[in-house]
Structure 1
Amino acid sequence: MIAARAAGATILTGVGLTVIYTALISSADAITKMFAASYAAPQLFALSGGIVALLAVLFNRAGPTPRGVATTCPRAMALRSGATVLGAAAFFYAFRLLPFAEVFLFIAMIPLITALLSGPVLGEMVRPQAWGAVMLGIVGLLCLAPGGFQSLGLGHAVALAAVLLGTVSMMASRYIGVRDGNLLAQVFWPNLALGAVSACALPFFWAPMGLVDLGWATLYAGLLFGARWVLVAAFKALPAYVITPLMNLQFLWMVIIGAAVFGEVPGPALYLGAALVITAGAWLIYDQAFPGGQSRKLIPAE
């Protein structure tokens, strides 16, 4: 009984953290889209990456048991950091080229791809339903091209690249999370890499920035720090194939923000595509809740 209650509390904690994450990351994405209209990616990420990395160090030192930012999985952390840098740049330009809510269909593919990769990468059992969910998600993406593939543009290709890179980052995060309890290290190193790489590119892209935009960039860093820390904690509480489908709540936030801030009203095709992708994610959740007596197993920590 005690074990069952503890498991239930862990599930509720993971779900709650994921809901908070979707609100924080959607707000950060909105600021990204605002910046993408006037600035290049390095100008936002040089500042935000440095701020988030600094916040990670400060929070680490302020904790009851400071652990520093060392990691026991340096190669996986390097992979996560590299994927974060490239994925952040790809998403930045995807937001510039596509309507805000439309990017969601690509973001929502991350849990579906993650569900398939959780087998070979994380040692978690992948049931056949995962393949069906991915196929349904692909049909949802095709709703963006009712006129055929010729209606797809550069923005869609950039968004797809961002999704693949984001999936690599998340899988690396889960791999590290079950082996290394230092959550802030996962926040520090990817953002340090993002800030450092962007700072090197900044002289080629710099544009004058007013105090208001500087304030938005600082707020973006705070939202991003909160979102990434919460997400790492969520992955620590629950497996990737449970947490990531819940991220589809982000579509609701993106539709509301897109309409309120950017005046974008999604068409019927986007809602249909989102419904299919969300259904695919819900399918995975149902399969996890009622797996027919089978449970996924993680690779033992090294």
Structure 2
Amino acid sequence: MTDQNPRLGILLMVVTMFIFAMQDGLSRHLAGEYNVYMVIMIRYWVFAAFVIMWSARTTGGLARAARSAQPKLQFFRGALLAVEVIIMVIGFVKLGLVESHAIFATYPLIITALSGPILGERVGWRRWLSVAIGFFGVMIILMPDGDVFSPAVIFPLASAAMFALYGLLNRYVSRKDPAAVTFFYTGISGAAVMTLIGVWFWEPMSLNDWTWMITLCASAIVGHYLLIRAYELSEASAIQPFAYLQLAFASGVGVVFFGDIIRLNVAIGTSIVVGAGIFALVRAQLAARRARSGAPTAP
């Protein structure tokens, strides 16, 4: 068993979020120059190779990693993530990194809202209130006079909803499959789906952009490895709130490299959404601890 080191786990989580933000910038650049399906397909090919190598080193090897009690659901979950990535990258191109990430930050609130009907979890009034407050923050972000309200907002909104469903399915499949199996299907099914879609949209890429593509793929491997290490070194409850740093880092990338603007309504609305999301996360963790200890829950 890996020794716990919460401080190092938090540090790795922060570094991972920075790497993921750089990935978002690279994805926006490449998807702006080339077909988004091809870009995501190549990215998934490399990710699948990493997953296969990682799974081969786990207990039981590839045979154990591919042995799922619910393979159809696992494949759907991985395919859902691949489509979500496509939609989010399109949002980066059409709306920008700042606004896309500000709206995407609602996904923990969507998870809270859907955890009852999908997972049968009890969601108390405090968390429902946080959902309502969070979506009030979204309305501030989308203020018509704030220059964010446009048809393109459908992309990060749809992406947030799909990623929330993906997160719920992760929790659902974990009831029967270990994490190694879930991780394996995430890479393999995503690569399979993206190959079926992206192979028809292949186009030549300049040598300079192949350099960026290789950098994107390498950063994906490093980022996922560091994320795995972060969860090994620290409890999820301690490091999960730091995932919101990706929003801040990606906004910085958007401002510095793409000329995005952080408008006042976006900053205020995002603060409300993130605050509500962290509150919902903390309440969910408290409810889970009480459930494990047998104490009365008040989620």
- Shorter-chain TM range is 0.7 to 0.9
Q: If each structure's helix is expressed as a fraction of its own residues, which one has the higher value?
A: 2
Corresponding position of 2:198? 202
The 2-side partners of 1:172 and 1:208 are apart by 37
Q: Given residue 279 of structure 1, which amino acid in structure 2 is its aligned partner?
A: G
**TM-superposed deviation, 1:165:** 1.0
- Tell me if structure 2 keeps the 8 A contact 1:177–1:235: no
In the TM superposition, what are the counterparts of 1:208-219 in structure 2 within 5 Å?
208-219=204-215
Structure 1 unaligned residues grouped into runs of 5+: 1-5
Aligned partners of 2:86 and 2:24: how far apart in 1?
12
Q: In the alignment, residue 195 of structure 2 is paired with which amino acid? A: A
Partner of 2:31: 36
CA distance in 2, matches of 1:15, 1:129: 27
2-side partners of 1:42 and 1:125: how far apart? 39
TM-score by length of 1: 0.80
* Aligned-partner Cα distance in 2 for 1:284–1:142: 19
Distance 1:126 1:105, change over 3 A: same
CA distance 1:23–1:32, change in 2 (3 Å): same
Alignment of 1:142-221 (within 5 A): 142-147=139-144, 152-183=149-180, 185-221=181-217
CA contact (8 A) 2:116 2:123 kept: yes
CA distance in 1, matches of 2:70, 2:35: 32
Provide the identity percentage: 20
Q: Deviations over 1:131-184 (max 9, x none)?
A: 11111111111123322699632310122111111111122223334543343x
Separation in 1 of the partners of 2:69 and 2:9?
Answer: 23
Question: How many aligned residue pairs are there?
Answer: 289
1:4-52 residue CA offsets vs partner (Å, 9 max, x unmatched): xx9x958768755643442232221111111121111221122111111
8 Å contact kept, 2:170–2:182: yes
- Structure 1 residues 121 and 20 mapped into 2: Cα distance closer, same or farther (>3 Å)? farther
Note closer, same or farther for the CA distance 1:203–1:139 as it changes in structure 2 (3 Å cut).
same
Distance, in Å, in 1 between the alignment partners of 2:87 and 2:178 is 29
Residue type of the partner of 1:106?
I
Structure 1 residues 224-239: aligned runs within 5 Å:
224-228=220-224
Distance in 1, Cα, partners of 2:83 & 2:221: 18
Q: Select which of 92, 105, 110 maps to 1:95.
A: 92
Q: 1:58-89: CA deviations, max 9, x gaps?
A: 12224576354313332331231121122111
Q: Which residue of 1 aligns with 2:52?
A: 57
Q: Which ranges in structure 2 are unaligned for 5 or more consecutive residues?
A: 294-299
Query: Could you say if the C-alpha distance between residues 114 and 297 of structure 1 is closer, same or farther in structure 2, counting changes exceeding 3 Å?
Result: farther
**1:256 Cα offset (Å):** 1.7
Q: How far did 1:235 drift?
A: 7.3
Measured in 1, the distance between the counterparts of 2:62 and 2:179 equals: 7
Contact 1:52 1:188 in 2 (8 A): no
Q: Secondary structure at the match of 1:143?
A: helix
Residue of 243, 258, 271 corresponding to 1:275: 271
Distance in 2 separating the partners of 1:238 and 1:171: 19
Equivalent pair of 1:133/1:284 in contact (CA under 8 Å): yes
Write the letter of the residue equivalent to 1:52.
F
2:144 aligned counterpart, secondary structure: coil
CA contact (8 A) 2:38 2:202 kept: yes
Q: For residue 90 of structure 1, report the CA deviation from its aligned partner.
A: 0.8
CA RMSD, aligned part only?
Answer: 3.4
Are the aligned partners of 2:38 and 2:199 in contact in 1 as well (CA < 8 Å)?
Answer: no
Aligned residue for 2:256? 260
1:45 matches 2:26: no
TM-score, scaled to structure 2: 0.81
